[in-house]
Amino acid sequence: MNKQPDEVAGMFDDVAKHYDRMNNVLSAGNAVLWRMATVRAVAPVAGERILDVAAGTGTSSVALARSGAEVIALDFSAGMVEEGRRKHKKIEFVEGDAEKLPFPGNHFDAVSISFGLRNVNEPKTALAEMFRVLKPGGRLVVCEFSKPPVAIFRAGYWAYLQYAMPVIADRMSSNPAAYTYLAQSIKEWPDQQQLSQWIRGVGFARVAWRNLTGGIVALHRGRKPVDADVLASVAKRQENATGSIKVVGS
């Protein structure tokens, strides 16, 4: 996809002021439902420490914080962070890079990222960073645009992205080119199975996903293993490789 981080950040700076409104319009109101599903998947608990990566103006961060959890909203767009701080003064916003999270390891109970992983230059590196900052047993939730599995629905969705969305963006957005990028990045993004493989590949266990709105969006989940999970995962990999289980320490 050949993303240039500075250009992508600048693009989001340009649309920050009306970003939430455009999301609601272009999603036909589904953005609220996707956010609710993401919060349920994270299952925040009062007192937990949660990192919301690519938080934009903090809409998802506020929803997570209603549980009483301590939520940090991180975004690489200075414009988004500025707008978020203006709108949500009780949320801590950090301007930072998902590929180099400015936090120590084993620090958060949960990490979420909604519609932001596509915009990262190296998504696998970002996933590895999320794994690093999670505590053992910590939860990852990724909400991202995906590929509708039903062919006729997928064709209609692609037509909407290619023809209808640019017209809406041209009339309502301060930067219509940003929404051309949006459509292109969605079409080129991996499907549900491949993203699950990426999440599993950086070390997450109990990886699963489910479709929202017919697969326009997919909600991915994973856990950072605790010690027992690590041993079980190693044993399983050894079993797959050799055809027999090798018990560590025996």
DSSP 196-212: HHHHHHTT-EEEEEEEE
* Integer Cα distance of 76 and 97 in angstroms: 5
* Integer Cα distance of 238 and 242 in angstroms: 6
Dihedral (C-alpha) 201, 206, 207, 213: value to the nearest 10 degrees? -170
Q: Residue 146: is it exposed, middle or buried by C-beta count within 10 angstroms (0-12/13-18/19+)?
A: buried
Let me know: does 107 contact 46? Beta carbons within 8 Å.
no
**Average pLDDT over every residue of 94-100:** 96
Decide if pLDDT at 163 tops 90. no
Let me know: does 121 contact 93? Beta carbons within 8 Å.
no
Contacts of 189 (CB under 8 A, 6+ apart): 118, 144, 145, 146, 147, 195
Distance of CA 55 to the CA centre of its chain: 9
Binning pLDDT at 50, 70 and 90, where does residue 17 land? low
Coil, strand or helix: which one is 221?
strand
Decide if pLDDT at 238 tops 60. no
Q: Which two tokens stand for residue 107?
A: 């620090």
- What pLDDT digit, counting tens, does each position of 116-146 carry? 999 899 999 999 999 999 999 999 999 999 9
- The CATH homologous superfamily to which domain 5-152+188-225 belongs is Vaccinia Virus protein VP39 (3.40.50.150)
pTM here is 0.82
Decide if pLDDT at 1 tops 80. no
For residue 5, the number of C-alpha atoms closer than 13 Å in the C-beta half-sphere is 15
Coil, strand or helix: which one is 2?
coil
Could you give the angle at which helices 176-188 and 5-15 cross, rounded to 10 degrees?
Answer: 130
Strand order of the sheet with strand 108-114? 92-95, 70-75, 49-53, 108-114, 134-145, 217-223, 205-212
Binning pLDDT at 50, 70 and 90, where does residue 25 land? low
Higher pLDDT among residues 231 and 221, named by residue = 221
Decide if pLDDT at 222 tops 80. yes
Q: Tell me which H or E stretch contains 64.
A: helix 59-65
* Integer Cα distance of 31 and 37 in angstroms: 10
Eight-class DSSP state of 132? H
